[in-house]
C-alpha cells in the first residue's frame, strides 16, 4: 500500500454529454485519474452518448472507463467495465457477462462483510463510503478504521468515496488505493480549481 492513492474520477450524475466534454478533458489533463466512472441518473440514450464521449476522452489519455451498473451499455460502448452499486450481489454475474478482462468494482457502503464477499466473488476493487457526512448517504459513514483494517488484511484494492474533504483525503490516503472524487467538484463554477484545492 503506497501513501499516494490514485485519483478515481466520477462524472456528474445525470450529466449531458455535450456540456461535459471540454470540462472533463480539462480536469483529466490537469489531474490524470487512474479510472473514470460514468455515474447513472440520465436516460439510457444520454448515458450512451456520455459513454462514447467519456471513452474517447479517457482512452486517449490511457484511462480506464467504468459505468454504474449498466452491463449492456458497458459492452455496447466499449467501456472497460462496471461499478456495481448493490455491493457483492451482482459481482459474479457481471464477471460472467463481461469476461475475465473487464473491470468489475463493487460499492459496499460501510459493510466489511459485503466488501469481503465482493472481493471473494472476484471484484477488482471494493469501494466504501460515504466517508464524510452527507444527507444523501445510505446508512452510516464508512469509518477510517474500516480502511485501516482492509488495507492490512485484504489484497483487493480499496476506493474511498462520498463527501470528501481535504482533511479526509489526507487521513484516508495512507490506507486507500484510490480516492473517488466527483460530486465534490462538479457543483462549483471552476471544477479544476476545486479539485486542485482538494487533491493539491
Question: pLDDT band at residue 41, thresholds of 50, 70 and 90?
Answer: confident
pLDDT of residue 136: 62
Which alpha helices (DSSP H) does 60-129 contain, by range? 71-76, 91-98, 112-120
pLDDT of residue 93: 98
Task: Enumerate the β-bridge partners of residue 181.
Answer: 9
Question: pLDDT band at residue 65, thresholds of 50, 70 and 90?
Answer: very high
Whose cell is 467504468? That residue is 66
Task: Enumerate the β-bridge partners of residue 152.
Answer: none
- Residue from 158, 92, 172 nearest 125 by CA: 158
Mean pLDDT on 188-197: 96
**Residue 185 vs residues 133, 152, 156, 158: alpha-carbon distances, Å:** 16, 30, 27, 21
Answer for the pair 137, 162: CB distance below 8 angstroms, yes or no.
yes
Question: pLDDT band at residue 14, thresholds of 50, 70 and 90?
Answer: confident
Whose cell is 476493487? That residue is 125
> Three cell numbers at 59?
482512452
Mean pLDDT on 81-99: 97
Domain ranges of the chain: 6-199
Q: Does domain 6-199 have CATH number 1.10.30.50?
A: no
Whose cell is 456495481? That residue is 84
Question: pLDDT band at residue 191, thresholds of 50, 70 and 90?
Answer: very high
Question: Is pLDDT of 28 > 50?
Answer: yes
pLDDT of residue 138: 59
Model confidence pLDDT, tens digit, residues 113-171: 999 999 999 999 999 999 998 766 556 899 999 999 999 999 999 999 999 999 999 99
pLDDT of residue 134: 78
pTM, to two decimals: 0.95
In Å, how far from its chain's centre is CA 12? 12
Answer for the pair 49, 14: CB distance below 8 angstroms, yes or no.
no
Mean pLDDT on 5-12: 97
Question: Is pLDDT of 72 > 60?
Answer: yes
Question: Is pLDDT of 73 > 70?
Answer: yes
Question: Is pLDDT of 2 > 80?
Answer: no
Amino acid at each position: 500500500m503506497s501513501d499516494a492513492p490514485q485519483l478515481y474520477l466520477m462524472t456528474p450524475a445525470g450529466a449531458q454529454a455535450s456540456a461535459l466534454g471540454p470540462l472533463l478533458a480539462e480536469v483529466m489533463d490537469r489531474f490524470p485519474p487512474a479510472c473514470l466512472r460514468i455515474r447513472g441518473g440520465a436516460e439510457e440514450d444520454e448515458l450512451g452518448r456520455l459513454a462514447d464521449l467519456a471513452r474517447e476522452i479517457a482512452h486517449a489519455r490511457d484511462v480506464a472507463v467504468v459505468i454504474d451498473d449498466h452491463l449492456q451499455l458497458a459492452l455496447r460502448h466499449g467501456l472497460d467495465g462496471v461499478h456495481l452499486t448493490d455491493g457483492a450481489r451482482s459481482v459474479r454475474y457481471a464477471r460472467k457477462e463481461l469476461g475475465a478482462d473487464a473491470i468489475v468494482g463493487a460499492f459496499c457502503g460501510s459493510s466489511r462483510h459485503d466488501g469481503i464477499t465482493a472481493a471473494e466473488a472476484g471484484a477488482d476493487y471494493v469501494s466504501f463510503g460515504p466517508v464524510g457526512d452527507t444527507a444523501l448517504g445510505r446508512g452510516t459513514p464508512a469509518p477510517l478504521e474500516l480502511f485501516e483494517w482492509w488495507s492490512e488484511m485484504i489484497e483487493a484494492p480499496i476506493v474511498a468515496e462520498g463527501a470528501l474533504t481535504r482533511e479526509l483525503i489526507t487521513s484516508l490516503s495512507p490506507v486507500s488505493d484510490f480516492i473517488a472524487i466527483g460530486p465534490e467538484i462538479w457543483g462549483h463554477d471552476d471544477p479544476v480549481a476545486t479539485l486542485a484545492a482538494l487533491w493539491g
